[in-house]
């Protein structure tokens, strides 16, 4: 006896580290009769198909398998809501008869649909940084979701998870008070800040009108950043614009000197802004666990770095670990420092620093 494909769609989500609203899971299985003179038993085999390019969650697979086993004899799963048992987060999935038909067609035509959009996607700012030879290959890393007006894509405070590109439609960026800060349209991106800075989501994103949105998970996002330097430069420029627009650090403050705390402005955001605004001066950070850190910038390039017993790249990586400390940026450097070469390409330094932070956190957890 076999049971038909079941399709579940994520309808509610809270701090799930792997999946997002709208993700689709398909479940297939077969019950094999094991008849013998002594007994008449059945063996169940169930296959869970996770969303394209995403890791499989053992907890959720177990929950879905239980549903399949429960209804296998009837060959019919009723319309229902399934709650994930949860790990660091939780989600709910919805099963409907209509989803089965939609997913069957979507599964068969998914690759073709992405290829048919290549002409449109090639005009987006993000994809312009990838050469034509590799464009189709990169696009296939992405997953396409179609969302309805009012749907929440990500919520402020959620763990970083995916990078998004709006293909059609528009979304609103919502603040804590429920007010729209800005609206993003076709070709615009979001979610990159939390991935690059390894921070929680900074704002809620709500669908403004029915929209199609591409998304890619952290692992594949990192692969693209590492393989295409032009994409790194694109994000460097984009982050600087976002920081300026949100007034995290204002350019006029930087021109006259600046004082602040890392608890209010993370080290990575502070360094990004100095870099993209081509600032020349000395950044001093006090009240750290291991004393005082000192960093010199020349036209936005990091040329000197010292913290504790670390210098150069090592000092930069160490300061990214600090969450508390008082900093001061003072314009100007000694004339001889103008000839000092930069320590390294800034975006590459930042990506490596974020990777090391991830590894440190994983080691502590394990």
At residue 82, the pLDDT reads 66
State how far the Cα of 272 lies from the Cα of 270, in Å rounded to an integer: 6
Same domain for 168 and 94: no
Residue 132 neighbours by CB distance under 10 Å: 9
48-75 per-position pLDDT tens digit: 777 755 677 878 877 777 776 666 544 4
Q: How confident is the model at residue 166 (pLDDT cuts 50, 70, 90)?
A: very high
Same domain for 182 and 270: no
State how far the Cα of 44 lies from the Cα of 225, in Å rounded to an integer: 42
93-131 per-position pLDDT tens digit: 776 544 443 334 444 455 566 666 777 888 898 888 888
Same domain for 141 and 95: no
Q: How confident is the model at residue 246 (pLDDT cuts 50, 70, 90)?
A: low
Q: Is 231 contained in some domain?
A: no
Q: Is 321 contained in some domain?
A: yes
State how far the Cα of 298 lies from the Cα of 278, in Å rounded to an integer: 7
Provide mean pLDDT across the span 329-349.
88
Q: Are 340 and 304 in contact (CB under 8 A)?
A: yes
Q: Are 93 and 11 in contact (CB under 8 A)?
A: yes
User: Pairing relation of β-strands 258-261 and 90-95?
Assistant: unpaired
Does residue 218 or residue 26 have the better pLDDT? 218
Provide mean pLDDT across the span 161-175.
90
> 76, 104, 132 — which closes off a domain?
104
Q: Is 111 contained in some domain?
A: no
Q: Is 74 contained in some domain?
A: yes
What CATH number did the domain enclosing 144 receive? 2.60.120.10
Lowest-confidence pick of 77-81, 122-126, 158-162:
77-81
Provide mean pLDDT across the span 84-96.
68
At residue 42, the pLDDT reads 43
Q: What percent of the chain has pLDDT over 70?
A: 71
Q: Are 68 and 93 in contact (CB under 8 A)?
A: no
Q: Are 323 and 310 in contact (CB under 8 A)?
A: no
What SS3 state is found at 44?
A: strand
Same domain for 268 and 159: no
Helical H runs in 197-250? 218-227, 229-245
Same domain for 279 and 188: no
Same domain for 160 and 95: no
Same domain for 257 and 192: no
At residue 345, the pLDDT reads 86
Residue 219 burial (CB < 10 Å; 0-12/13-18/19+)? Answer: exposed
Is the predicted pLDDT of residue 239 greater than 80, yes or no? Answer: no
**Token pair of 215, please?**
């998304």
Q: Is 222 contained in some domain?
A: no
Provide mean pLDDT across the span 6-30.
70
Strand order in the sheet with 24-35: 40-49, 24-35, 2-14, 90-95, 80-83
CA distances from 2 to 29, 42, 68, 99, 313 (A): 7, 11, 11, 20, 59
pTM of the model: 0.45
29-54 per-position pLDDT tens digit: 544 444 444 444 444 456 777 775 56
Provide mean pLDDT across the span 180-205.
85
Q: What percent of the chain has pLDDT over 90?
A: 20
Does residue 68 or residue 159 have the better pLDDT? 159
State which H helix or E strand residue 166 sits in.
Answer: strand 162-174
Same domain for 262 and 291: yes
Q: How confident is the model at residue 88 (pLDDT cuts 50, 70, 90)?
A: low
The number of CA neighbours under 13 Å toward the Cβ of 277 is 22
**Token pair of 257, please?**
């000197």
Q: Is 177 contained in some domain?
A: yes
The residues, any chain, with a CB within 8 Å of residue 36's CB and separated by 6 or more, are: none
State how far the Cα of 81 lies from the Cα of 198, in Å rounded to an integer: 32
Same domain for 166 and 100: no
At residue 171, the pLDDT reads 94
Q: Residues 352-361: contacts with CB within 8 Å, 24+ apart?
A: 352/313, 352/317, 353/268, 353/316, 353/317, 353/320, 354/196, 354/197, 354/198, 354/268, 354/320, 355/222, 356/317, 356/320, 357/198, 357/320, 357/321, 358/198, 360/321
Q: What is the residue range of 123's domain?
A: 117-217
Same domain for 90 and 125: no
- When computed from its CA atoms, the radius of gyration of the chain, rounded to whole angstroms, is 24
> 195, 217, 239 — which closes off a domain?
217
- Most confident segment among 6-10, 222-226, 349-353: 349-353
> 75, 104, 133 — which closes off a domain?
104
At residue 96, the pLDDT reads 54
CA dihedral angle for residue 173, residue 53, residue 230, residue 253, rounded to 10 degrees = 30
Report the mean per-residue pLDDT for the chain. 77
Residue 182 burial (CB < 10 Å; 0-12/13-18/19+)? Answer: middle
Q: Is 209 contained in some domain?
A: yes
Question: Can you list the positions of beta strands (E) in 218-359?
Answer: 258-261, 281-288, 291-298, 301-307, 310-311, 326-331
Lowest-confidence pick of 93-102, 217-226, 228-237, 269-278:
93-102
Same domain for 91 and 14: yes
Is the predicted pLDDT of residue 268 greater than 70, yes or no? Answer: yes
Q: How confident is the model at residue 184 (pLDDT cuts 50, 70, 90)?
A: very high
Same domain for 131 and 99: no
271-298 per-position pLDDT tens digit: 988 888 788 899 999 999 899 999 999 9
At residue 306, the pLDDT reads 96
State the total domains in the chain.
3
Q: Is 232 contained in some domain?
A: no
């Amino acid at each position: 006896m076999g049971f038909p494909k079941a399709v579940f769609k994520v309808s509610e989500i809270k701090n799930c580290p792997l999946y997002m609203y709208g993700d689709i899971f398909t479940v297939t299985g077969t019950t094999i009769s094991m008849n013998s003179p002594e007994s008449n038993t059945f063996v169940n085999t169930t296959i869970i198909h996770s969303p394209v390019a995403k890791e499989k969650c053992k907890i959720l697979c177990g929950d879905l398998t239980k549903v399949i086993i429960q209804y296998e004899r009837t060959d019919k799963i009723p319309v229902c809501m399934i709650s994930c048992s949860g790990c660091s987060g939780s989600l709910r999935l919805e099963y409907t008869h209509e989803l089965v038909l939609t997913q069957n067609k979507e599964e068969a035509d998914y690759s073709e649909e992405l290829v048919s959009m290549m002409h449109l996607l090639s005009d987006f700012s993000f994809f312009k940084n990838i050469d034509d030879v590799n464009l189709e290959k990169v696009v296939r890393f992405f997953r396409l979701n179609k969302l309805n007006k009012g749907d929440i894509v990500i919520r402020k405070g959620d763990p970083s998870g995916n990078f998004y590109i709006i293909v059609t439609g528009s979304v609103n960026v919502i603040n804590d008070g429920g007010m729209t800060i800005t609206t993003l349209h076709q070709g615009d991106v979001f979610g990159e800040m939390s991935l690059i800075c390894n921070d929680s989501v900074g704002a809620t994103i709500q669908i403004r009108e029915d929209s199609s949105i591409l998304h890619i998970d952290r692992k594949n996002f990192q692969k693209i950043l590492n393989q295409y330097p032009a994409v790194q430069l694109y994000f460097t420029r984009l982050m600087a614009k976002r920081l300026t627009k949100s007034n995290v650090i204002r350019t006029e403050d930087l021109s006259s000197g600046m004082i602040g705390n890392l608890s209010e402005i993370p080290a990575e955001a502070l360094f990004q802004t100095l870099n993209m605004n081509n600032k020349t001066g000395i950044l001093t950070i006090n009240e750290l666990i291991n004393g005082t850190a000192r960093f010199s910038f020349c036209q936005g390039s990091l040329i000197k770095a010292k913290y504790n017993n670390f210098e150069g790249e090592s000092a930069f990586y160490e300061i990214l670990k600090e969450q508390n400390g008082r900093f001061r940026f003072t314009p100007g450097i000694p004339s001889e420092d103008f000839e000092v070469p930069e320590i390294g390409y800034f975006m590459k330094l930042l990506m490596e620093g974020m990777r090391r932070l991830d590894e440190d956190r994983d080691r502590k957890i394990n």
